Structure 1
Amino acid sequence: MLTLSNLTTTYGPVRALDSVDLTVETGRITAVLGANGAGKTSLLRTVSGLVRPATGTVTLDGTDITGAPVESMVHRGMAHVPEGRGVIAELTVEENLRLGARGAAKRPSDAPAPVRTLDDAYRLFPVLGDRRNAQAHTLSGGERQMLVIARALLSRPTLLLLDEPSLGLAPRIVAQIFDLLRTLVADSGLTVLLVEQNARSALSIAHTGVVLNLGKVVVTESAEVLRNDATLRHSYLGF
């Protein structure tokens, strides 16, 4: 689904990503882990076109998209949920969701998609259905996170980029969101590139774990191996 080759991203003299090679397999969850400053957010921003790499290529489903306009990414089947739960506060829940649906990728009518309609979104996230007419600024942190994920899914992506979806949320809400991601991938073939500091939770649902350290890939392993390798966990993941 996604291949990064020799990808280097710089901010002035700082190398946020340093010759990164990474493959994300179709229909699987790949978790990118590491400490603050490891380059995790820069990785997603480079993939989605928000930042242009200094060198290297980004290939999506066989097409080189390096440097492609950000606004083209949704039509190519990519949805990016940045860190920070960025809802449009003055709009209602339903108005936020309709914005996601307006830019939906063109996919065959029989292609699997986890969310095609507003009703689908409300079935996945019942709390959003209950609050569909509420202004987004009145939502709790967990409800906002559900809203931005649902809005992204309404664009009918084949690849979902998620940046720190658990940040600042209660463990119960984190478990709900991660369980939902696992189900979406299993049922619809959605591909997820997940950036997380909560390594334990991310590895509980991921198929593959990638550890970044100072912009470099230092480990790529199955999530099961990372969960069970105490040396790797203690060295890079803090648990």
Structure 2
Amino acid sequence: MLEIRDLTTSYGPVKALDGVTFTAARGKITAVLGANGAGKTTLLRTVSGLIRADRGNTYLDGLDLARMPAEKMPGLGLAHVPEGRGVITELTVEENLRLGALGRADRSRPADIDRVYSLFPVLESRRSAVAHILSGGEQQMLVIARALMAEPKVLLLDEPSLGLAPRIVVQIFELIRGLVESEGLTVLLVEQNARSALSIADIGVVLDLGRLVAHDEAAALAADEKLRHAYLGF
């Protein structure tokens, strides 16, 4: 589904990614883990076209994304939910959702809104509310739901648990797992909370200073005590 091959990205003289290669399998959650500065967010930003790679390629179902502009990605089946949520607080919940369909040729259809509301009932109950009154967890649900309005094949999620209470984190992670099982999405999940990420992921990728240091089934990484202590903090 999503193949990342020899991806290298720099900020000036500093290599943020250095020859990263792995594949995110169709219909699976691949968790990208590592300490601050490991290159996790840079990886997602490079894949989604927000940053240009120095070298390497990213393929979505065989299509080379390396020189595609970021605004074309939703139409190709790739949606990126960046760190920090980023709802348009002056707009209503439903207006935020409709923005997510702008990259599609057919824009928003009523059925799309209904489908998303069926996945996020709390948003349907707040559909006419301005987004700034939503809780942090509700805003996180909104940005994920907005990304789904583009009907993506691949969903890039950057730190969806950031700043949320533990019980809300559990809800968000259960929601992500449910989306994969019900919608067949491929998810590339960047998370600082490695323990929680591995609990819902199928595959784990560990980065350290821009380099790939581990790539295995999530359960195997969670069971590797030496790796956990060295790179994952638990």
Report the alpha carbon displacement of residue 103 of structure 1 after superposing the two structures with TM.
Answer: 2.3
- Per-residue deviation at 1:120? 1.7
Paired residue type of 1:208: I
Alignment-mate amino acid for residue 96 of structure 1: N
Query: CA 1:105 to 1:41, structure 2 compared with 1: closer, same or farther past 3 Å?
Result: farther
Shift of 1:188: 2.1
Q: Distance in 2 between matches of 1:97 and 1:229?
A: 41
Q: 1:27 to 1:117 in 2, by over 3 A?
A: same
Tell me how far apart the structure 1 counterparts of residues 152 and 47 of structure 2 sit (CA, whole Å).
14
Q: Please give the per-residue CA displacement for 1:192-216, whole angstroms capped at 9, x wherever unaligned.
A: 0000000011001100000000000
Gaps of 5+ in 2: none
Deviation string, structure 1 residues 38-81 (Cα, Å, up to 9, x no partner):
00000000000000000111111111110211111001000000
Question: TM-score scaled to structure 2, two decimals?
Answer: 0.96
Q: Which amino acid aligns with 2:98?
A: R
Alignment partner of 1:95: what SS? helix
Q: Does 2:27 align with 1:27?
A: yes
What does residue 80 of structure 2 align with?
80
TM-align CA RMSD: 1.4
Equivalent residue number for residue 191 of structure 1: 186
Q: Where do 1:47-126 residues align within 5 Å?
A: 47-104=47-104, 117-126=112-121
Q: 1:160 aligns with which of 130, 155, 161?
A: 155
Q: Determine if contact 2:18/2:211 at 8 Å carries over to the other structure.
A: yes
Unaligned runs of 5+ in 1: 107-114
Contact 1:122-1:128 at 8 Å conserved across structures? yes
Residue 101 of structure 1, CA deviation:
2.2
Q: Is 1:9 the equivalent of 2:5?
A: no
> Compared with structure 1, are the counterparts of its residues 203 and 116 closer, same or farther at alpha carbon in structure 2 (3 Å cutoff)?
farther
What does 1:192-211 correspond to in 2, within 5 Å?
Answer: 192-211=187-206
Cα distance change of structure 1 residues 190 and 11 upon mapping to structure 2, 3 Å threshold: same
Distance 2:172 2:151 in 1: 18
Q: Aligned partners of 1:64, 1:16: CA distance in 2, in Å? A: 21
1:139-154 equivalence runs, <5 A: 139-154=134-149
Structure 2 counterpart of 1:101, which letter? Answer: A
In the alignment, which of 125, 129, 135 is matched to residue 130 of structure 2?
135
Q: Which amino acid aligns with 1:232?
A: L
Aligned length: 231
1:116 shift after superposition: 5.6
Question: Where has structure 1 moved over 6 Å in runs of 4 or more?
Answer: none
Aligned equivalents of 1:119, 1:18: Cα separation in 2 = 43
1:200 and 1:85 mapped to 2: Cα distance?
22
Aligned counterpart in structure 1 of residue 171 of structure 2, from 158, 169, 176: 176
Question: In structure 2, the residue corresponding to 1:175 is in which secondary structure?
Answer: helix
